[in-house]
Structure formats: structure tokens, C-alpha cells
Structure 1
Amino acid sequence: MASLLNQPVLVLNRLWQAVNVCSARRALTLLFRGHAQAVLCRPDGTYQTFNFREWSDFSRAEPDPESITTVSFRIRIPRIILVLFFDRVPKKEVTFTRHNIFERDQNTCQYCGRVFDRKDLNLDHVIPKDRGGPTTWENIVCSCIECNTRKGNRTPQEAGMKLIRKPKKPRWRPFMHITLGFQQHESWKHFIDLAYWNVELGEDKV
């Protein structure tokens, strides 16, 4: 039972936007307290919601191997829950790491526009560090070894080079950590895809 209670459950806000993943234990607690509803994906692609009593009745009518059995009843583990009193999408800062800079620049040299393996890319200060250039999203870009050597300790203008795009701090993609960190249930796909594709990228406006 313990392993079932630790199963991941996708959390939607009341606007049906994916905002989090919680344990089945937490999901059932929210369901029992009336703070959430279970969401079931029907074979025809539609979604049906259930409060705790309705979900209990459904669990009896349509048993599932992944169910929790108590002294008085048996209840299915929901794969998705809809939280009834939450309509915000949580904000999260993008960490300023080498990995995320490569992700932002898509492993592409920002001077010549060619794609490289990460081992063949450097991180370049657009305005050189020893000339006051900060180590920030707006001043660090991926650069191939050839372009990095050509630019040297100069600005792009001084080196007769041009950036293919202005470096900016990327916006957080809300469910990147879910797509990478959890084994998704098939019923999540619709909501995860929406979370991934519909997030505006670009400079944060917080």
C-alpha cells in the first residue's frame, strides 16, 4: 500500500492548467477534505470529475488493481486531480547554470549559427569580463571554439562579429521537471503538452 500511496498524481488548478505533481496520499487527502476532485479520462477523450463520495462509488462500480483498501471501503488511486480553490500557475526562477544556457541557445554558437556538441562549445562573455561585463543571462552566450578564439578579449563590434540573437533570461517552462523527473501516466499527456507549448518564452516580466 505504501508504494501505491507514493504514486505521482498530476495536479490541475481550477482553470484546468497543470501546476504540480503530488503523491497519491496527498491527492486522496485533498479529495476527502473537499479541496479537490478526481479527474478521469474517458475512452472517448473527454474528462469527468468526481468528488470523494462519487469517486468512492465509482471505485466500487469499476474496480482497479491500483486501489487502496481500508476496513470500510476500497478506493482507486486518481491519476489527475483538480484543485478547486487555486487558479494561479506557480512562478519559478530559471537557475543560471551552464546546462540552462546550452538549453536556451539550443547548443548553437551565437556568432556563426552552427550547432555543436556541448563539449565543443564555450560560454562567452559578450562584453568581456575584465572590461566590466557581468556574468548574467544577458551577457553570456554559447560560442564555438573558432568564434571564441576569433573574438578574443573584444566586444562583438570590435571583432567585426554579430550575435544571431540578443541573449535574454528565459522564462520557466512549468512542467519541464515533470516531463524529465516522473514516469508520466498516459492521461497526463494532454495537460503536459499544453503546459509545455503554451508558455510564453522570453524575458521575465515579474
Structure 2
Amino acid sequence: MFSGDHSALDSHVLVLNKHYAAIRVVSVRRAFTLLFKDMAEIIAVEDSQYLSYDFESWRQLSDHRSKYQHDRHDWIRCVKFELAVPRIIRLLFYERLPRQPVKFNRRNIFARDGNRCQYCGEKFPTSELSLDHIVPRSRGGAASWTNIVCCCVECNVRKGGRTPHEAHMRLISEPVKPKRSPVVTLRLSSEKYASWKQFIDTAYWNVELKD
């Protein structure tokens, strides 16, 4: 149905419930599926105002923007036209709020630590990182947010089955449980997701990344 460069197809869309509360993040394909089914509308933030569009009005707006603001948007191509990738959609009939905590998994730990080894401070590709138990499992260390950190291979080998104190190594930051999805936190640092910020209150919302 859609084609486009990888940056557009790999973009993500913030989903709001009926009352404009952030509830999750979905793929571009999922967002347009909801729009096609008239289950959602697009929300654009312009000059601190919320403007809403259904699929057809967004298609018309995209046609205009493709001529005058093409560089300001990601684009996907359909058979007969191009569509600007929306950043936010609002579900028209869904009112509930998310209650799930941030998932404790490898992706979120890497995102929390910014793909940076928590001992030497160097940044690495995910493929070159491992997870380290600060207090080793052999010593009763738990698999928890506060006891697991990103670690490069060299530092992991150096530390071995010891505590950082025993290995004469220091953590560059104290590991904590994130209040919201660290993957979303990383996306908020990107200018193209700037419109998300006013919908995500760190005191209340845990926005979980889903496909």
C-alpha cells in the first residue's frame, strides 16, 4: 500500500485517546490503518493550536505541503499521491488510559543508558553491548532496573564476576527505573517529534512503544 524511504516508513506516531491523553506510540502503517477505518483523526500542532484532519483533508493538505513545504516532512507514496507522515493521531472512541509499567527488557535498558557503557562511558552499537549485573547473579544480584546496566565487551570481561568496587571500576551514573519508556524519551530529543512533548507529562504517562 505504501512506499517511501526508510526514515519515513520507520517513523512513529503518537496516539492520543479521545480526551487528548497520550496512550502509546505506533508505526506509520498502523496509524494510517486507524485513519482508513475512521477510528482516528490526525492532530497537527500549529502556533500552539490543535488542528484536526480526517484522511481526505490530510491528503489535500499533503498535496499543498508537497509543493511548498516538502523538506519539512517525511513522505510516503501511494499509487496516485504522496502523504505527509503525521506525528500525532487521536482515537475518536477510545477513552481509557494506559496502566502498564515500562517493560523491563533489553531494548529499554539500552535506551535508558543511551547505548553507552556505564563503566567506560563510551557509546557503542547495540550489537557491541551486553548487559551487566552490578552485583553478580552468583552473589545474589537481582535482574532489576537498579542492578543491570549497559556494558561493553571489554569492561564486561574486566569486571568478570566481581562487584564494581572489587574490580576498581565506577559506574558513570546510578541505574534507575524509568518513569516512562526510555525509547520515547530518546525520540523526544529529535526535532521532528517536538510536537509530542506537550502531550507527554512525565509525572503521569508511561508511553509504551508498540508495533
Does 1:46 find its partner at 2:49? Answer: yes
When normalised by structure 2's length, the TM-score is: 0.53
Displacement of 1:18 after TM fit? 2.9
Q: How many residues align?
A: 150
Q: Within 1, Cα distance between the matches of 2:45 and 2:164?
A: 56
The reply on whether 1:119 has 2:127 as its aligned counterpart is: yes
- What residue in structure 2 maps to residue 18 of structure 1? 22
Q: Deviations over 1:31-51 (max 9, x none)?
A: xxxxxxx787597663368xx
Contact 1:110 1:164 in 2 (8 A): yes
**Larger RCO: 1 or 2 (CA < 8 Å, sep 6+):** 2
Q: Which structure has the larger Rg over C-alpha atoms?
A: 1
Task: Quote the residue 1:129 is aligned against.
Answer: 137
| Whole-Å separation in 2 of the counterparts to 1:97 and 1:142 | 12
Secondary structure in 2 matching 1:159: coil
- Cα deviation per residue 1:138-182 (whole Å; 9 max; x = unaligned)? 111111222212211111111111111121222233994xx8xxx
The answer as to 2:105 corresponding to 1:97 is yes
Structure 1 equivalent of residue 198 of structure 2:
194
CA RMSD in angstroms, aligned pairs only: 4.1
Is residue 140 from structure 1 mapped to residue 145 from structure 2 by the alignment? no
CA contact (8 A) 1:11 1:83 kept: no
- Aligned counterparts of 1:118 and 1:135: Cα–Cα separation in 2: 19
Percent identity between matched residues is: 37
Checking the alignment, whether the CA contact within 8 Å between 1:175 and 1:195 is kept in structure 2 is no
Letter in 2 for 1:137: W
How many Å apart are 1:102 and its aligned residue? 1.0
TM-score by length of 1: 0.54
